[in-house]
């Protein structure tokens, strides 16, 4: 969202009027304004997004307050002096003030930073699960529905994509099988009763757990910014998204995916069945589907072909790590499954699974 010109004075005046803050200087960023006050405090002014109604912002502030009580740092909306959550600024429209947090974007190449981010995510999810269950109903993402939609997109685009990208032809069986299996397992899981400690209550999911929305401070603290896509959903949605970002940006070595899953599972207190479901979700070729969807979009940006080819290589590496790192690698049961050789030739391989983790008829818990 580009910022209009000549809005400095109206913004400074609105902040003084509605928040009682005297602005010393404004820092124009890509989609927000940075504000530095006379007494040295720093804030960010965000224009309201399409889902930013006052009720949502109030609920988000309440959830982040519960998170803050557990030591989690996050940039959430601040109320005005009158208790309102949205303030209209001439030339900018409605928006709100939030803290400007210290830190730089997360470096996913660093194992320490990756694991710190997963621990922070787990703490965010646990801290907000009770508050979410108390009646917050806004912006439920329905992770399950989005997975099914992505599978439908993959099926729709595949015939055209395999014609444009020959390297996809040898991967067809594996990619489709992986996507279908992940959705099948998660669908069965969603139909399971929530009792028995097997499922958390839904918590606050960030919804856009990209490295630039996670800040790493010098003391090793992780902070969360940009809750535009946040909502109440299955906490596994955030872990799924973060792990896919990592795998796309920095291919994981042997044992690294297993370490990431175990870090989150331990910090979150996942039950064994829930950890199994997370492993199956990580089979889903999310980054490849997103690259194909962007490529197929009318007026797709220059370089979309390159992004698809990068996503193909990342998917091959990601799935190889998934198959090697999963709990099934420690057991002796194997079933035939679609896979590909290192050269992408698409040979049928053998996927290791343990009885109870995956079967042709579906998951057994």
- Domain for residue 57, yes or no? yes
pLDDT (0 to 100) of residue 354: 36
pLDDT (0 to 100) of residue 200: 61
CB 20 within 8 A of CB 6: no
Quote the pTM value: 0.86
186 and 82 in a common domain = no
pLDDT (0 to 100) of residue 145: 93
116 and 92 in a common domain = no
pLDDT (0 to 100) of residue 349: 35
- Domain for residue 281, yes or no? yes
- Domain for residue 272, yes or no? yes
Question: What's the domain range around 79?
Answer: 8-100
- Domain for residue 125, yes or no? yes
Residue-by-residue DSSP string for 95-134: EEEEE----EE--TT-HHHHHHHHHHHHHHHHHHHHHHHT
174 and 88 in a common domain = no
- Domain for residue 364, yes or no? no
160 and 220 in a common domain = yes
Question: Looking at residue 269, which CATH number applies to its domain?
Answer: 3.90.1200.10
322 and 185 in a common domain = yes
- Domain for residue 314, yes or no? yes
170 and 116 in a common domain = yes
pLDDT (0 to 100) of residue 332: 38
Q: Is 30 exposed, middle or buried (0-12, 13-18, 19+ CB in 10 A)?
A: exposed
205 and 153 in a common domain = yes
- Domain for residue 120, yes or no? yes
CB 328 within 8 A of CB 218: no
Question: Looking at residue 14, which CATH number applies to its domain?
Answer: 3.30.200.20
163 and 84 in a common domain = no
- Domain for residue 214, yes or no? yes
- Choose the final residue of a domain: 39, 66, 100: 100
Q: Any idea which residue has 């003391």 for tokens? A: 219
- Choose the final residue of a domain: 100, 131, 160: 100
Specify the number of domains making up the chain. Answer: 2
pLDDT (0 to 100) of residue 45: 94
The rounded distance, in Å, linking the Cα atoms of 58 and 73 is: 17
31 and 128 in a common domain = no
Q: What is the mean pLDDT of each run of 10 residues along the chain (365 residues)?
A: 66 93 88 89 92 90 92 96 93 92 95 97 91 65 90 96 93 93 92 61 88 94 94 93 93 93 95 92 96 90 89 93 81 38 34 37 29
The rounded distance, in Å, linking the Cα atoms of 307 and 295 is: 8
149 and 254 in a common domain = yes
194 and 81 in a common domain = no
Task: Name the phi and psi angles at 98, rounded to 5.
Answer: -150, 165
């Amino acid at each position: 969202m580009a910022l209009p010109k000549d809005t400095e004075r109206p913004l400074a005046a609105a902040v003084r009027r509605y928040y009682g803050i005297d602005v010393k200087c404004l820092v124009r960023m890509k989609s927000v304004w940075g504000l530095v006050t006379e007494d040295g405090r720093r804030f960010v002014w965000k224009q309201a997004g399409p889902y930013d109604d006052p009720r949502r912002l109030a609920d988000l502030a309440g959830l982040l307050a519960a998170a803050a009580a557990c030591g989690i740092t996050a940039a959430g909306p601040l109320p005005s002096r009158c208790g309102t959550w949205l303030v209209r600024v001439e030339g900018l429209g409605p928006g709100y003030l939030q803290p400007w947090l210290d830190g730089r974007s997360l470096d996913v190449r660093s194992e320490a930073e990756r694991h710190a981010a997963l621990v922070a995510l787990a703490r965010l999810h646990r801290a907000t699960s009770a508050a979410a269950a108390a009646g917050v109903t806004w912006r439920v993402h329905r992770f399950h529905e989005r997975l099914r939609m992505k599978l439908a997109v993959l099926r729709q685009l595949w015939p055209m994509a395999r014609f444009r990208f020959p390297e996809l032809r040898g991967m067809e069986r594996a990619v489709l099988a992986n996507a279908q299996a992940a959705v099948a397992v998660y669908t069965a899981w969603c139909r399971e009763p929530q009792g028995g400690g097997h499922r958390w209550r839904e918590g606050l999911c960030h919804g856009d757990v990209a490295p630039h929305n996670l800040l790493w401070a010098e003391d090793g603290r992780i902070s969360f910014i940009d809750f535009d896509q946040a909502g109440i959903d299955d906490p596994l949605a955030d872990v799924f998204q973060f792990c896919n970002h990592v795998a796309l940006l920095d291919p994981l070595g042997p044992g690294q995916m297993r370490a990431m899953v175990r870090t989150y599972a331990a910090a979150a207190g996942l039950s064994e069945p829930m950890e199994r479901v997370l492993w199956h979700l990580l089979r889903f070729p999310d980054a490849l589907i997103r690259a194909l969807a962007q490529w197929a979009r009318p007026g797709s940006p220059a370089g979309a072909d390159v992004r698809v080819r990068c996503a193909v290589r990342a998917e091959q590496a990601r799935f190889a790590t998934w198959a090697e790192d999963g709990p099934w690698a420690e057991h002796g049961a194997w079933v035939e499954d679609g896979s590909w050789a290192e050269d992408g030739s698409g040979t049928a391989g053998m996927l290791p699974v343990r009885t109870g983790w995956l079967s042709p008829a579906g998951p057994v818990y």
